[in-house]
Amino acid sequence: IAGITQAPTSQILAAGRRMTLRCTQDMRHNAMYWYRQDLGLGLRLIHYSNTAGTTGKGEVPDGYSVSRANTDDFPLTLASAVPSQTSVYFCASSGTSGSGNEQFFGPGTRLTVL
Amino acid sequence: GQNIDQPTEMTATEGAIVQINCTYQTSGFNGLFWYQQHAGEAPTFLSYNVLDGLEEKGRFSSFLSRSKGYSYLLLKELQMKDSASYLCAVMDSNYQLIWGAGTKLIIKP
């Protein structure tokens, strides 16, 4: 593994189904983030984790949950998917959550909820 | 509220210079980032400014004026591979990035 990986690459999901998007990084970064990107809008933060064992809510957390059991993994779960959750989801990480730390992004997961 | 504004789309000619502007209003300021995003790909880091002035990195430069809430990204000697979206993001008082919607740059031969 080099950098950040996400799985799956893309997914079509029926409304009401549960779905977990996976994210793994091998850079030993403390901070990790989940964003969604929709056409015409900037990246919007869903949830974040400043260090293993802690998580926080971002701008658009409703309908999503996360866990951070270890440094490397940061899965995002949609408990009961709805069509408005159709989006491209990016996982990112940074050395720390402080000023000046650039975020490195995974390749993204394209999710369609029907 | 927090707001980042940048033009939706710009067009420039190969070999020319283009300036992409970004204005912001955020709760606190802990630096401004520029990212490049090619279609269908992830954003990649270009530059970071926390103090006023110009930061130069090869063909790309980024300028910041904190008093005006303003930044620009300057791309010189444009190449076709520079066709991409350019994202402006400000780190707020909670150390979270607030993102603009991005500027799609189209390079013509």
Could you read off the pLDDT of B60-105 as tens digits, one per residue? 999 999 999 999 999 999 999 999 999 999 999 988 999 999 999 9
With pLDDT > 70 as the criterion, what percentage of chain A qualifies?
99
Q: Which candidate, A32, A23, A14, places its Cα nearest to that of A85?
A: A14
Q: Which residues contact A61 (CB under 8 A, 6 or more apart)?
A: A46, A47
Cβ of B50 and A100 within 8 Å?
Answer: yes
Distance of CA B5 to the CA centre of its chain: 10
Cβ(A64)–Cβ(A113) below 8 Å: no
Tell whether A88 lies on the interface with B, counting CB pairs under 8 A: no
Instruction: Say if residue A70's pLDDT is above 80.
Output: yes
Amino acid at A39: L
Cβ of B97 and A45 within 8 Å?
Answer: yes
Please tell me which of the candidates A42, A58, A90 has its beta carbon nearest to residue B42.
A90
Cβ(A62)–Cβ(A78) below 8 Å: no
Cβ of A99 and B95 within 8 Å?
Answer: yes
Q: Give per-residue pLDDT as tens, B21-39.
A: 999 999 899 999 999 999 9
The two tokens of residue A56 are 């926080």
Cβ of A99 and B91 within 8 Å?
Answer: yes
Cβ(B4)–Cβ(B100) below 8 Å: yes
Give Cα separations from B19 to A31, A59, B59, B90 (angstroms).
32, 30, 12, 18
Q: Is B82 helix (H, G, I), strand (E, B) or coil?
A: helix
Nearest-Cα distance to chain B for A102, in Å, is 7
Cβ of A100 and B87 within 8 Å?
Answer: no
Model confidence at A99, in pLDDT bands (50, 70, 90)?
A: confident
Nearest-Cα distance to chain B for A5, in Å, is 11
Please tell me which of the candidates B48, B96, B99 has its beta carbon nearest to residue A102.
B48
Range B8-25 average pLDDT = 98
Distance of CA A63 to the CA centre of its chain: 13
What is the rounded CA–CA span in Å between residue A43 and residue A3?
Answer: 20
pLDDT for the residue numbered A6: 98
The two tokens of residue A52 are 């293993």
Q: Give per-residue pLDDT as tens, A1-56.
A: 579 999 999 999 999 999 999 999 999 999 999 999 999 888 999 999 999 999 99
